[in-house]
Amino acid sequence: MPHDHDDHHHHDNELDPMAARVRALETILTEKGLIDPAAIDAIVDTYETKVGPRNGARVVAKAWSNPDYADWLKRDATAAIADLGYTGRQGEHMQVVFNTPDTHNLVVCTLCSCYPWSVLGLPPVWYKSPPYRSRAVIDPRGVLAEFDLILPETTKIRVWDSTAELRYLVVPMRPEGTDGLSEEQLADLVTRDSMIGTGLPLIPEPA
Known active-site residue 114: yes
118 annotated ligand binder: no
134 annotated ligand binder: no
109 annotated ligand binder: yes
The candidate with the shortest Cα–Cα distance to 106, out of 168, 153, 64, 49, is 168
Please give the full DSSP string across 22-56, using - where no structure is assigned: HHHHHHHHHHTTS--HHHHHHHHHIIIIIHHHHHH
* C-alpha distance from residue 145 to each of 4, 89, 139 (Å): 15, 32, 10
Cβ-based neighbours of 13, under 8 Å, separated by 6 or more: none
Catalytic residue among 109, 118, 162, 194: 109
113 annotated ligand binder: yes
Q: Which residues share a beta bridge with 98?
A: 171
* Residue positions forming the annotated binding site for Fe(3+): 109, 112-114
Residues serving a catalytic function are 109, 112-114
* Residue positions forming the annotated binding site: 109, 112-114
